[in-house]
Amino acid sequence: MAFTLSVHPFIYVAKYNNGTWEDKLLEQEHLSFEQEQQLSEADKNSLLIKRNQIKGLPLVNFTTQYGLGCFEGVKAYPQKDGSIKVFRPDENAQRMKNSMEGLLMPGISPEMLQKGVMDSVRENDRIGFLPKYNSAWEANNFITADAVYIRPFTYAEPGIGLGISVSPWVISVSTNVSGYFKEGMKSRAIVTDKVRATTGGTGWIKTASNYVVPILVKKAAEKDGFMEAIFLDPDEHKFIEEGSSCNIFFRLKNGNLVTPQLGDTILPGITRKSVITLAKDMGVTVEERKISIDEVMLEAEEVFVTGTAAGVTHLGSFTYKGKEKVFGNGNIGELSYKLQTTLKGIQYGVLEDKFNWMFKI
């Protein structure tokens, strides 16, 4: 259940027209959650296909033709007290606005989008489609626990010539998920010679087109037995940038935690930002700077990636130009584990949320 297109019945839709954003919740076709689970596979797929369609969205537009669109990844978590809370939706909503404006679209109000996301989660919870807290998740520190993945995205008005979207939609759907990386796959990563984002380009925007190369590279890496692919900088091809869909951290032999500094080729991750806060709170020295693949191969003792889907996931080794460097005998390191369990504990409500990251619906 890592990612499936089992879209929940309530979706959020906003539209920009003549200088104004207007929004609403749409209730798509559905039965009760229990009734849907009893459907045959064919009938359930038919229902989900209907639910994944919105009447009135144009087939030919700037998004479908040129990838001129952006999106977000937000998560909601079942709490031990029975409630549902959303992790830092204010940050996602602000980044969505920044991405839209980076693509020369009118940016949606972060407050409007945050409210729409929260309202849709609330309604889907009300009709019983969201997962409930399971104390069994605590046994492995929530690594395989269920959550709700929320995907706001833009969709452009009709257009076939080269142009920008001046009257976009913002739509937000959600689905239940569990772990992101495939269970049982060894936590090996390979350093690719392909380029994720170019200097002066759109690497800092969470735009659809940025994911084409990473998806192709990641699938090739998985075919060769690797869990993740790592990208170097586009200019000198020696500094670490990101994973295929996640930011990356290195704990060095001196105890410092290093992550590549933000720039126009690196996405400003919200989990990245949170992990930096947690590490500093633990007394760890955090450096945001360039870090070369050579330094990693010589000095890194722990490596982990971060993201909305990935959470905090350790990498046991890097393979670079045919040479494999193993970190911590391939096992998760002490700091990686502490950050992973702390973040999960806050998200699932078993640890104090002293940074006020969790928003109750």
Count CB-CB contacts under 10 A for residue 335. Answer: 20
Please give the positions annotated as active site: 206
Sign, CA torsion 233/237/242/243: positive
Q: Nearest CA to 250 among 215, 207, 289, 193?
A: 289
